[in-house]
Amino acid sequence: MSSQEKFGTYENLTWTLPQGAYCDIVVDATAAVGRVIFDETSFLGVDGTDIKLGEVITVDQGQVKNITIYNAASTGPLTFLISFSNAIHLGAVALATALMVSIAL
């Protein structure tokens, strides 16, 4: 969940998705504007026509946005950068861990 005290604070992590895997990221901006960036790859698939790799995805205060990302590489695991406020971190990592069990191969 995003919060005003986390404004301007980003954390960068490198994630890896196995071949054929997907993950749902939930940006909870009910308390404050939420932001997330996916970068450093050209094979990360992101559902949604308004989302572009390397650009800040902003979720307006009061909204919750679900973003499905997937490994769109033809073979092998995919490593990419995800940058988000610390407030978003816990929910995204917990959700990613839970969904990695249900990899779509």
pLDDT tens per residue, range 76-101: 999 999 888 744 443 444 444 444 44
Has residue 61 been placed in a domain?
yes
Query: CATH number, domain at 48?
Result: 2.60.120
* Number of compact structural domains in the chain: 1
In the DSSP assignment, the letter for residue 56 is -
Has residue 105 been placed in a domain?
no
**pLDDT in tens for each of the 105 residues of the chain?**
545 555 566 778 898 999 989 888 888 888 888 888 899 888 999 887 678 889 888 888 888 888 899 999 999 999 999 888 744 443 444 444 444 444 443
